[in-house]
Amino acid sequence: MEIVFATHNKNKVYEVQLLVPEHIKILSLETIGCYDEIPETADTLEGNAKIKADFVTKNYKLPCFADDTGLLVASLNGAPGVLSARYAGAQKDSEANMEKLLVALKNKENRKARFETVIALNLNGQQLLFNGIASGEITPTKSGTKGFGYDPIFKPEGYESTFAELPVEIKNKISHRGKAMKKLIDYLNKMEK
């Protein structure tokens, strides 16, 4: 089975390809010749995931899934939330996003946060949603070189390391995207039987 992952983020494609069984081949937007920046104009993660999946279904007529992820920080009333990728501006600069968040939390004692991922799957004329949550806290400084996005400042519950310090195999088991992908993969496996 071939399925499009509606993202331009090569790190996401890499992590997801490690999760899926060999009989499922993940195609990126570039692979199908899509270089458009699909606008994320919804005010929810679910809405943005649907927009991206629907764009591929409408324009390329291929089975696909898309995700949207937000980092919700308790003491910031859930910010940056749906704007996580654009927290410091439209340029989607991870370093600037982390710096802005660390400044916002400078004098806050409560550093609890959670990542939420929503995946929209468009397959056989149906749309299904899968979600995953990873709880943890924001560290005072960046640590680690693996991963992407906010990984260097997010320490998941039960670990002393940030996502950026953990091997990708461990991160994939406990991360928000990993949990949502497991539900998606379970569904695709049932469809194939």
Residue 67 contacts residue 119 (beta carbons within 8 Å) = yes
Angle at 53 between CA 118 and CA 11, to 5 degrees: 65
* Catalytic status, residue 68: yes
- Per-position DSSP letters for 9-62, written without gaps between them: -HHHHHHHHHHS-TT-EEE-TTTTT---------SSHHHHHHHHHHHHHHHH--
Q: Which domain holds residue 47?
A: 2-192
Structurally, the chain folds into a number of domains equal to 1
Interaxial angle between packed helices 176-192 and 10-19, expressed in degrees from 0 to 180 and rounded to the nearest 10: 50
Among residues 54, 67, 68, 93, the one annotated as catalytic is: 68
Cis peptide bond N-terminal to 167, omega within 30:
no
Who's near 77: CB < 8 A, 6+ residues apart?
Answer: none
Distance CA 75, CA 71 (A): 12
Number of residues written out for the chain? 193
Q: Sign of torsion, CA 28 178 40 164?
A: negative
Who's near 93: CB < 8 A, 6+ residues apart?
Answer: none
Residue 119 contacts residue 180 (beta carbons within 8 Å) = yes
pLDDT of residue 193: 63
pLDDT of residue 72: 98
* Residue 171, domain CATH: 3.90.950.10
Q: What residues of the chain score a pLDDT lower than 70?
A: 192-193
Other CB atoms closer than 10 Å to residue 122's CB: what's the count?
A: 24
Q: Retrieve residue 71's tokens.
A: 């980092």
Q: Is the pTM of this model over 0.75?
A: yes
pLDDT of residue 118: 98
The β-bridge partners of 154 are 138
pLDDT (tens digit, 9 = 90+) per residue, 35-53?
A: 998 989 999 999 999 999 9
pLDDT (tens digit, 9 = 90+) per residue, 123-154?
A: 999 999 999 999 999 999 999 999 899 999 99
Who's near 109: CB < 8 A, 6+ residues apart?
Answer: 75
N- to C-terminal Cα separation, the chain: 12
